[in-house]
Structure 1
Amino acid sequence: MEKPRLMFLIIILLCMLCCFININTEAAPQGSLVTSLPGFSGSFPSKHYAGYVTIDGGDSQPSKNLYYYFVASEKNPSVDPVVLWLNGGPGCSSFDGFVYEQGPFNFDAAKQEGELPTLHLNPYSWSKVSSIIYLDSPAGVGFSYSANTSNYETGDLQTAFDTHLFLLKWFEQFPEFVGNEFYIAGESYAGVYVPTLASDVDKGNKSGVKPVINFKGYMVGNGVCDRSFDGNALVPFTHGMGLISDQLYKSAEVECKGNYYNYSSSNCGLALNKIEKALHGLNIYDILEPCYHNPNTSSELPESFKQLGTSNDKSLSVRKRMFGRAWPYRAPVKDGLIPLWPQLLESVHVPCIDDGVATVWLNNKQVRKAIHADPESGEWSLCTGNLRYYHNAGSMISYHKNLTASGYRVLIYSGDHDMCVPFTGTQAWTESLGYKIVDEWRSWISSDQVAGYIQGYANNFTFLTIKGAGHTVPEYKPRESLEFYSRWLQGQTI
């Protein structure tokens, strides 16, 4: 009699366990589940969810509807880290990262007009080792919107506040991920988004805000940080890369006295103008890459581009684009109202841009229906001109110091051929923190090749370069990017 009773108890326990597992895996809102995507055939390697989290607009204003696309980890979503990804701008959609960088798919441009891009699984997607939330932030960016456009006047501090509210509500909707380690990541102007949000999350946890976010650290790629360090980075970078002569460099050094971004000397301005002329025509996001020339901006392309097989109505095979970036030459982010890229481009022609694949795909009605994007959000564009955005958080150096003092892990990485946010400035400000070096400057290896260089500091603070990469690192070096990303998340030596 004991044996049947034991078997009965085992069956009951197994049923209870199955029920628990079912509840745990199905806690996510099923109305947000993405079951298929136009342009992709086959099964997703993990679950995808997309939709909106609504937060209070404040001061009796209409609410803000923040859009996310969530890719569960392809490895073990119940225990793998959850990472929030933010693109910069300010005012640029995180679908930049989803479509062009480390998202679950690679996109092939349509062969004929009217067709959709073709999607293939990305073997180097960061969802191989983590779950990722791609968030359009702040309201007014990408598919995020508000019924009252006065909500589109915002800045660093309000954006961090809103994104923290988003995270609290998102984890309420996806309670099965509350216990997972949580990280924040982003690039370019997200060099401001990430530390300010991290600070709000830290303060919320310490003050007892529920749910408690299991926040462990953050990473920033080619990110803005401090106007002095960022503004003085370009001239030394271009000289070190052999883009300007010793004579031009020495002239600027003497006339500007090391201050290249906030000068008052007319002779300094003349020296910098000569440097800018020397750099004209380069792809500022990767000096090794050719530029895409929009057919609407020039009636004839240079002979060198014709030899590459490029014509006025055909883009280069590698998509490179301006939007999502930080600033043009010699213009670090200063306090106050920031002109957005669409506004800058009204008066300045900047080459090397092409975001056609994302624009075509994300404005297709069937795609928008599949990913639960509200029609009220309007036409999708990579970077919006609708915001009035204020840089009001100041330098990020104090944020980094406070957060590392609180024990959070930090990875600051730079594609070393980016001329937009040169690694020279990032290397200088990371060193300025004054932390003890615990892992002296050395190469790091991927597939038996030098992939870049690394310097480790006390307080779990790491600076890393990716050899040959531009501003959007995973776009240029996908395999190496997945490697350092996965190693860092797992706490392994890079």
Structure 2
Amino acid sequence: MGSRIEILLSLVMISVSPVFLITAVAITEEQELDRITALPGQPPVNFSQFSGYVTVNEGEGRALFYWLTEATDHAHEMPLVLWFNGGPGCSSIAYGASEELGPFRINKTGSSLYLNKYAWNRVANILFLESPAGVGFSYTNTSSNLKDTGDNRTAADALVFLIKWMSRFPQYKHRDFYISGESYAGHYVPQLAQKIYDYNKNSSHPIINLKGFTVGNAVMDNYYDNIGTVTYWWSHAMISDRTYKLILKQCNFKSLNTSQKCDQALNYAMNHEFGDIDQYSIYTPTCNSSKANITNTPRLKNTLLRPRFSGYDPCSEKYAEKYYNRPDVQKALHANTTGIRYNWTACSDVLLRNWKDTDFSVLPIYRKLIAAGLRIWVYSGDTDSVVPVTATRFSLSHLHLKIKTPWYPWYSGNQVGGWTEVYDGLTFATVRGAGHEVPMFEPRRALILFQSFLSGKNLPSHKI
């Protein structure tokens, strides 16, 4: 680590944003170099931001890109939450930071930002990580890394990232720490949690104070996920009785590989019975691809569907690609410092096509970390047909957990926000009306859920 500049800050900073007090902290020189003064087109804010690279493998030249948005109030007291998006191969900057829980949204032209009223940094310090190397601005100098990565290396590199990042940001050592994510991060999140748990057990002075994790619409178990997905299609009238029965007959979901007859049955369902819908949010409009220049490329591995990713504004990932390919934006973010020749994209199809190792099921990890006493919440947007609520419920049911608080509706204001059940060691919740990206479709409900998770309290059972 570079030399430290001990800067004791106890002054009031005044700008076009409201007056705010910075608590005295020790700032490292490396940390100060990562400070974001302002992003192009950014409105005034009263919180600090940092971004840059952490090298996780010197020999092969792998470096991961991060963006920290500190809490809007009392950042020095708030927990640290690491966020992953999935894919594998999709960017946490494109989705989590820019469409879901981050402090900013990007306008349609990619020219400016506006504030997200329900940003999660209202209640925590949020650390977005583009992982693994090859995703977004994260890179590797060893081209073969793009064709031989998988779950194991992703988790190992993320642990190295955290250890090195906390050396750069020592104020976060021993801080309450949580991991969160969605989709294929249903693998990343518990796998990293297990790495941290094992690392802490073997360390005489652990610095990562892991308290728990939460995941949304999470890939969990290949067999139960696939059975639950087909069941969701049928129960939501997306496919016929005949096709439903045919898929169950022809597909052996206990194998990672599907047969030709299984593929034919699945393709018939998707190409002839679904119609032109957004599979990640079955009741919202699709993006006009001719205007947005969107192609149908894979975005999710080890589930039945391989369509384009989208959300409430189904063209929003294109706004991110416009914005983050701007040289002035990259300069402000301290990104693309090595001059990567290819454009920044929301997802890497190369990684998706060449993913080498994947856990068939992460349920054994859940059992281990539940026994370790971590706080674990799993939630589902109930209009997602890619990793649907039925898939998650099938997976969780096979943990055979004791029910502590039976199923009940939880409330967001005067409306039912979803339904929840509390088990011995895990909380499950649905978010009513939300698709795959829960904080994008139902931002207020997502923030209530996140606040409840951090506080360790049950979701509100009465109208507020």
By the TM > 0.5 criterion, same fold?
yes
What TM-score do you get using the length of structure 2 for normalisation? 0.85
Report the aligned-residue RMSD.
2.8
1:307-318, aligned counterparts within 5 Å?
A: 313=291
The equivalences for 1:13-52 within 5 A come to 24=25, 26-27=27-28, 29-42=31-44, 44-52=45-53
- What CA distance in whole angstroms lies between the structure 2 residues aligned with 1:180 and 1:150? 36
- The corresponding residue for 2:17 is none
Equivalent of 2:330 in 361, 368, 372: 368
Aligned residues: 428
Give the C-alpha shift of residue 245 in structure 1: 4.1
- How high is the TM-score relative to the length of structure 1? 0.80
| Aligned partners of 2:53 and 2:63 also within 8 Å | yes
Evaluate the alpha carbon distance shift between residue 486 and residue 477 of structure 1 in structure 2; reply closer, same or farther with a 3 A threshold. same
Quick check: 1:120 aligned with 2:133?
no
Number of the residue aligned with 1:309: none
1:133 is matched with which residue?
Answer: 127
1:184 equivalent in structure 2: 179
Q: In the alignment, which residue of structure 2 is the partner of 1:484?
A: 449
Offset of residue 29 of structure 1: 1.2
Partner residue, 2:320: 358
Amino acid at match of 1:479: R
- Superposition map of 1:210-289 within 5 A: 210-246=205-241, 248-249=243-244, 255-256=249-250, 266=261, 272=266, 274-276=268-270, 277-289=272-284
Aligned equivalents of 1:18 and 1:36: distance in 2? Answer: 21
| Alignment partners' CA distance in 2, 1:144 and 1:431 | 37
Separation of aligned partners in 2, 1:103 and 1:472: 13
Question: Aligned equivalents of 2:43 and 2:71: distance in 1?
Answer: 20
Distance in 1 of aligned mates of 2:303 and 2:334:
38
TM superposition shift of 1:395: 1.1
CA distance in 2, matches of 1:17, 1:282: 52
Cα distance in structure 1, aligned partners of 2:390 and 2:317: 28
Q: Is the 8 A contact 2:47 2:70 kept in 1?
A: yes
Deviations 1:167-224 (A, max 9, x none): 0011111111113210011111111111111110000100016552110001111111
Match of 2:3 in 1: none
2:197 is equivalent to residue 195 of structure 1: no
Q: SS in structure 2 opposite 1:26?
A: coil
Give the C-alpha shift of residue 264 in structure 1: 5.9
Q: What's the CA shift for 1:322?
A: 7.1
Aligned to 1:395: 361
Q: 2:164 aligns with which of 151, 166, 169?
A: 169
Q: Give % identity.
A: 35
SS at match of 1:366: helix
| AA matched with 2:154 | T
Task: Rate the CA distance shift 1:118–1:270 in 2: closer, same or farther, 3 A.
Answer: closer
Which of residues 339, 349, 358 is equivalent to 1:385?
Answer: 349
Would the alpha carbon gap of residues 22 and 240 (structure 1) be closer, same or farther in structure 2, given more than 3 Å must change? Answer: closer
Structure 2 vs 1, CA of residues 252 and 136 (structure 1 numbering), >3 Å: closer, same or farther?
A: closer
- Partner SS for 1:370: helix
Q: Report deviation, 1:64.
A: 1.5
Question: What's 1:424 paired with?
Answer: 390
Deviation at 1:393, TM superposition (A): 3.1
Give the Cα separation in 1 of the matches to 2:35 and 2:376: 32
Q: Specify which of 370, 381, 390 is matched with residue 404 of structure 1.
A: 370
> Which residue number in structure 2 is paired with residue 303 of structure 1?
none
Which segments of 5 or more consecutive residues in structure 1 lack a partner in the other structure? Answer: 1-15, 111-115, 296-312, 332-340, 346-351
Which residue number corresponds to residue 68 of structure 2?
Answer: 70
1:336 corresponds to which residue? none
1:442 to 2:408 alignment? yes
Contact 2:136–2:347, Cα closer than 8 Å, also in 1: yes
Cα distance per residue 1:16-67 (max 9 Å; x no partner): 9969x9652535711111011111132x22100011111224xxx3332111
Q: C-alpha displacement at 1:75, in angstroms?
A: 2.4
SS of the residue aligned with 1:93? coil
Q: Assess if the C-alpha contact under 8 Å between 2:222 and 2:302 holds in 1.
A: no
CA shift in 2, pair 1:209/1:201, >3 Å: farther
